[in-house]
Copies of this chain bind each other. A is one copy, B any other.
């Protein structure tokens, strides 16, 4: 890698509205009116001011603007991860919506769920006047949700809750339970005698537990087939690979539902190495529909989740909060989860 140095150019401090005012022969308030597009400024005056602005290269200080107006038009995203697909896509949705509303977006990563670290992160990310969006899909995020001060202006993207949360919680989620149910039913309809579930770590402590698991269990129970013990996975392909090696050894396993596409990717590889053909011997379903999943060998059957939509909804909710300071109407902008059937699922093998 290479890096080249730099020499700072440019002179004194940037021009302020008072500098512009002097240059244009008006008061600073008139300059303020011009930059804010206030209607009652005589065209001739406006032109003079605009000329001065251009001449001096004036740019309004967002900092001063935020301080004086009390509105920072800023939203900070608190998340444990920015690279994994679901997180990255949610952030993308937030950024899009924020940009459209002329909000700046900040990112702050939570490295662990350590209480002191999370508290410190919350302190730093919470500037009075700015909003907070929490991605609470995992334990650092959930911890931050617990530790956040009650008066914080915050919205959270959360794992599907077991039951409707207390009213007044600005939370956004997709219906994972229904989605998992649909995916499991798809496998059962293909003739599999049961479906194994490889779980992502769940953050839900309350009874009811993870809703992806619950939806899977719903479908099995409804079909009256045996419910195997769910397997504890992680988030990464390596976790899926490790679990997949164990699953591959069990000849009774013919269908696996994975908590996300990365796990499914690892499972696919483990099955391939073990010589178990997908989908002829084993069917695999993922969760998320990451961009590369359609190109895998075999292309992954998966549940598409609208993370970007969740991100946009989070921002919309927050926007309403900071503008009105009051409850706002829900914005149902994210698409419902949808099962995308591709190549990794097929009829159960004859026995």
Interface residues of A (CB under 8 A from B): 1-10, 13-14, 57, 59, 61-64, 66-67, 72, 76, 82-83, 85, 88-89, 91-92, 95-96, 99, 102, 104-109, 123-124, 126-129, 149-151, 155, 164-165, 167-175, 236-237, 241, 262, 265-266, 268-269, 272, 290-292, 294-297, 299, 306, 309-310, 313, 317, 321, 325-336
Question: If A3-B331, A5-B328 touch, does A109 touch B104 (CB 8 Å cutoff)?
Answer: no
Contacts of A105 in B (CB 8 A): 106-108
Q: Is the CB of B4 within 8 A of A171?
A: yes
Instruction: Name the one of B63, B64, B332 contacting A3, with C-beta atoms under 8 angstroms.
Output: B332
How far apart sit A164 and B3, CA to CA, in the bound complex (Å)?
10
Return the chain B residue nearest A264 by Cβ.
B295
Question: If A92-B82, A106-B107, A269-B297 touch, does A126 touch B5 (CB 8 Å cutoff)?
Answer: no
A-B contact pairs, 22 of them (CB 8 A): A1-B334, A2-B174, A3-B170, A3-B331, A5-B170, A6-B155, A6-B169, A6-B328, A7-B327, A8-B325, A13-B128, A59-B123, A61-B127, A62-B124, A82-B88, A105-B108, A106-B107, A237-B295, A266-B295, A269-B297, A272-B297, A296-B297
Contacts of A7 in B (CB 8 A): 168, 326-327
Contacts of A59 in B (CB 8 A): 123, 126, 128
Q: Is the CB of A296 within 8 A of B296?
A: yes
Q: Is the CB of B151 within 8 A of A9?
A: yes
**Shortest Cβ distance from residue A278 to the other chain B in the assembled complex, whole angstroms:** 10
Q: Is the CB of B175 within 8 A of A1?
A: yes
Identical chains bound together, number: 2
Return the chain B residue nearest A169 by Cβ.
B4
**Shortest Cβ distance from residue A238 to the other chain B in the assembled complex, whole angstroms:** 9
Q: Is the CB of A63 within 8 A of B129?
A: yes
Instruction: Name the one of B2, B172, B335 contacting A175, with C-beta atoms under 8 angstroms.
Output: B2
Contacts of A107 in B (CB 8 A): 91, 95, 105-107
Instruction: Name the one of B104, B265, B297 contacting A108, with C-beta atoms under 8 angstroms.
Output: B104
How far apart sit A306 and B3, CA to CA, in the bound complex (Å)?
14
Return the chain B residue nearest A94 by Cβ.
B107
Q: Is the CB of B173 within 8 A of A2?
A: yes
How far apart sit A335 and B327, CA to CA, in the bound complex (Å)?
50
Q: Is the interface of A mostly helix, strand, loop or mixed?
A: loop
How far apart sit A104 and B127, CA to CA, in the bound complex (Å)?
11
Contacts of A123 in B (CB 8 A): 59
Q: Is the CB of B61 within 8 A of A67?
A: yes
Q: Which of A63, A164, A296: most chain B Cβ within 10 A?
A: A63
Contacts of A150 in B (CB 8 A): 9-10
Instruction: Name the one of B102, B237, B328 contacting A294, with C-beta atoms under 8 angstroms.
Output: B237
How far apart sit A99 and B78, CA to CA, in the bound complex (Å)?
12
Q: With A3-B332, A59-B123, A269-B295 given, can you name 20 additional A-B contacts, CB distance below 8 Å?
A: A1-B175, A1-B335, A1-B336, A3-B171, A3-B172, A5-B328, A9-B150, A14-B128, A59-B128, A63-B127, A63-B129, A76-B104, A82-B91, A95-B109, A99-B108, A105-B108, A106-B106, A236-B291, A262-B291, A297-B297
Q: Is the CB of B295 within 8 A of A241?
A: yes
Contacts of A333 in B (CB 8 A): 1
Contacts of A174 in B (CB 8 A): 1-2
Instruction: Name the one of B96, B167, B290 contacting A5, with C-beta atoms under 8 angstroms.
Output: B167
